[in-house]
Amino acid sequence: MSNEVIRKELKKLSKESLIETVINLSCGRNSIRICKETEYNLLIRKREEKFKEFIFLKEQLDKYSTFSEETYILAKKIRKIQEEIKAIDKRSDKLFKEL
């Protein structure tokens, strides 16, 4: 495969797919330990991003004094982010133990 073909294929991928592809490529070239460290570091960054989003939404929710459709939507988004953070924590803990 030429570099041009590879670039075109990578542009088609979503951000998460691209991260998985990079992880898989680094696994092919490096040891499994380096691959797991890379994945762990990416998970930590992803968790930080999700936590910042959680804080922002929580602050938005705190501005409301009564329950409304907007607060319901915000609360639903916050709950989804909490679940995502929990899944990231579970995966990163597992990786950390394997390192």
Q: By the 8 A CB rule, do 60 and 84 touch?
A: no
54-89 pLDDT tens trace: 999 999 998 888 888 889 999 999 999 999 999 999
Domain limits, the chain: 3-98
The whole-model pTM stands at 0.62
27-52 pLDDT tens trace: 555 556 667 777 888 889 999 999 99
d(C-alpha 79, C-alpha 8), whole Å = 36
> Judging by beta carbons within 10 Å of its beta carbon (0-12, 13-18, 19+), is residue 43 exposed, middle or buried?
buried
